[in-house]
Structure 1
Amino acid sequence: MKRRRQIYEGKAKVLFEGPEPGTVIQYFKDDATAFNNKKKGVITGKGVLNNRISEYLMTRLGEVGVPTHFIRRLNMREQLVREVEIVPIEVVVRNVAAGSLSKRFGIPEGTPLPRAVIEYYYKNDELDDPMCSEEHITAFGWATVGEIDEIVSLTIRVNDFLCGLFLGIGIRLVDFKLEFGRLYHDNGDIQLVLADEISPDNCRLWDIATNEKMDKDRFRRDMGKVEEAYQEVARRLGILPESGPADARSTDTIQ
């Protein structure tokens, strides 16, 4: 079988040339990083679970009219996505005070916010992804005013939908990160779509009854039972791998 060309390797995923023009294969790794790559490790089976969780959430969002880059899952660790030009901004939505928000403003972790807060961070590992404003984004040409308006509109829709979805399975969506990309159509139109992934890697997910953390904070803070937390999120969503958690040790690779 012909080996496909690798396009890019990030901290959690590898991108390969897709089978058709305008497509990319996204491979989910077990590698884990925190604090802007200062802490590194491996979470066994994370790639398999994140592939399934992101597939499920992207599909559900597509069903309610949120455009995404997702096409279909190919196997345990890979999914086919549309090729997009990533907007170099991480959009963070905060519903409950936690993490850096609590540290910056001295708000006790777990404090509900009066409304969802949207923050922007410039995607640059060398600069530790600095926080930025809409003025920075437009001044430096990272996105236009119109694109920011569209990003905010889509982000609010995603937050509303995911908060309800997770509430239904006993999970509080504390905060999460989104990325967007420009999808170039053959007719010359440019469409903003949700890209990257949505998983316990980039969401803070707490059990509603106990406030137990069910996300990568367990890795960041050396809390243990990281794999079990990811599996529990998948179990509640009803999407554990077909043969159970043992499948999470799959080492499928793209050829």
Structure 2
Amino acid sequence: MASTPDLKIGQKLNEGKTKQIFELVDQPGLVLVQSKDQITAGNAVRKDQMEGKAAIANRTTSCVFKLLQDSGVKTAFVKQHSDTAFIAAHCEMIPIEWVCRRVATGSFLKRNPGVKEGYRFSPLKMEMFFKDDANNDPQWSEEQLLEAKFCLGGLSIGQCEIDIMNRSTVAIFEILEKAWATQNCTLVDMKIEFGVNVKTQEIVLADVIDNDSWRLWPAGDRSQQKDKQVYRDLKEVTPEAMQMVKRNFEWVSERVKLLLESQASGRVVVLMGSTSDIAHCEKIKKACTSYGIPCFLRVTSAHKGPDETLRIKAEYEGDGVPTVFVAVAGRSNGLGPVMSGNTAYPVINCPPLTPDWGAQDVWSSLRMPSGLGCSTVLSPEAAAQFAAQIFGLTDHLVWCKLRASMLNTWVSLKLADKKLQACSL
């Protein structure tokens, strides 16, 4: 592949059925992933050229990886380079396809006779397949993967790494499932691959996620499927049939861009009784920003100026933007109860604790008169998280950040335990 003005392309590192991987001479640790116009099925038993597929696949993958990265999932993706290629971290690929299923269909039914098509898996059904074209990618168990004793990119693949990939696959599926639901489209199942970043020795989501990677049923209707299954099901490959397949791929590549757009808007308004609490409130604002939620700080006292407190409340109620109020007041907390008694919006008490009267002051936030529903959260970061969980009910982008945060917390604990066990041996 010829170099471009901004990229010096080196040797070809790998080539698959639908893409090529090239080293980047001037950017060690990075590679160029170049898509092809080829479409295959049945381990390339069926193989055809589909003009424009490379650009469609690259556009789809770039949007999907951007959504996942913005959510907080670790991936190899760096940025889209051209219509048909993107830049990624150089990874040694783990030769396993992780398959996650929400709905029973396809090969699962053949391997599990008696299960009806459309059976819904809750929790998700996880499977793994060893990448071996000669043997049609046989299904593997965790025990087989452990016994393989893979060592890739300087990382030995043991139980910890298997658990991380398993847990990550579930989180990635749920994030994409939530995103596709905004387009009234069911993510039926999906296959993904992981690699070991050769620079960091971290396991990251790698390869591609495009219309070859999943089943998508608009409105949950299989007859409207928009994925590669349409190509697999062709009795005869004709120019007209290939145009139909291409239109489906284009439909997905256009819709996938919408997954990056918020379907709802909201904000957090922090009311503090005094500017002496500004540091506490800034922590709330910083945490809100990490979830992509606008946060505004105001100063008002429900004891000393209740009319002004209610005027500020009305200001944020009047424009129709969904709002969560956070009341920051120590000593005798009047802000939270007054706000809760006069607005239908959620109110969270987040009192700043002091060494002298902190424990006693908390009771003014906990002991509410009847008819009031404000909660009390002591940590400013946790108060922002609670607000994010409220907005996540209607904004998939906020929900996705919360879901990825759960995954990253779990992974950090898993790695910490692995490190501790290694030190104890």
User: Given the two structures, how large is their TM-score scaled by the length of structure 1?
Assistant: 0.88
Shift of 1:114: 3.2
User: Which residue of 2 is the match for residue 125 of structure 1?
Assistant: 133
Candidates 172, 193, 202, aligned match of 2:186:
172
User: Which residue of 2 is the match for residue 158 of structure 1?
Assistant: 172
User: Which residue of 1 is the match for residue 225 of structure 2?
Assistant: 213
Return the alpha-carbon distance in structure 2 between the equivalents of residues 183 and 146 of structure 1: 16
Deviations 1:187-236 (A, max 9, x none): xx521100011111111111115431111111111173110111111222
Q: Does 1:41 align with 2:48?
A: yes
Q: Which has the bigger relative contact order, CA under 8 A and spacing at least 6?
A: 1
Q: Does 1:57 align with 2:64?
A: yes
Higher strand share: 1
| Structure 2: runs of 5 or more not aligned | 4-8, 151-156, 236-240, 259-425
User: Which residue of 2 is the match for residue 200 of structure 1?
Assistant: 211
Candidates 213, 230, 239, aligned match of 2:249:
230
Return the alpha-carbon distance in structure 2 between the equivalents of residues 30 and 111 of structure 1: 34
Which of structure 1's runs of 4+ aligned residues deviate more than 4 A?
Answer: none
User: Which residue of 1 is the match for residue 162 of structure 2?
Assistant: 148
Return the alpha-carbon distance in structure 2 between the equivalents of residues 64 and 109 of structure 1: 32
| Residues 204-213 or 79-88, more deviating | 204-213
Query: Does structure 1 conserve the Cα–Cα contact (< 8 Å) formed by 2:63 and 2:257?
Result: no
User: Which residue of 1 is the match for residue 286 of structure 2?
Assistant: none
RMSD, matched Cα: 1.6
User: Given the two structures, how large is their TM-score scaled by the length of structure 2?
Assistant: 0.53
Query: Does structure 1 conserve the Cα–Cα contact (< 8 Å) formed by 2:55 and 2:84?
Result: yes
Return the alpha-carbon distance in structure 2 between the equivalents of residues 68 and 100 of structure 1: 28
Candidates 13, 28, 43, aligned match of 2:19:
13
Candidates 37, 45, 51, aligned match of 1:30:
37
User: Which residue of 2 is the match for residue 243 of structure 1?
Assistant: none
Percentage of matched positions with identical amino acids: 31
Query: Does structure 2 conserve the Cα–Cα contact (< 8 Å) formed by 1:84 and 1:181?
Result: yes
Shift of 1:84: 0.6
User: Which residue of 2 is the match for residue 4 of structure 1?
Assistant: 10
- Work out the number of aligned pairs and report it: 236
Query: Does structure 1 conserve the Cα–Cα contact (< 8 Å) formed by 2:64 and 2:256?
Result: no
Whichever of the two has the greater Rg, that structure is 2
Structure 1 residues 205 and 51: CA distance shift in structure 2, 3 A: same
| Structure 1: runs of 5 or more not aligned | 240-255
Q: Does 1:139 align with 2:151?
A: no
Candidates 98, 108, 116, aligned match of 1:101:
108
Higher helix share: 2
Return the alpha-carbon distance in structure 2 between the equivalents of residues 22 and 190 of structure 1: 11
Return the alpha-carbon distance in structure 1 between the equivalents of residues 30 and 58 of structure 2: 17
Shift of 1:6: 1.5
Query: Does structure 2 conserve the Cα–Cα contact (< 8 Å) formed by 1:169 and 1:237?
Result: no
Query: Does structure 1 conserve the Cα–Cα contact (< 8 Å) formed by 2:186 and 2:220?
Result: no
What amino acid is aligned across from residue 130 of structure 1 in structure 2? P
Return the alpha-carbon distance in structure 2 between the equivalents of residues 184 and 234 of structure 1: 30
What amino acid is aligned across from residue 164 of structure 1 in structure 2? K
Shift of 1:108: 3.2
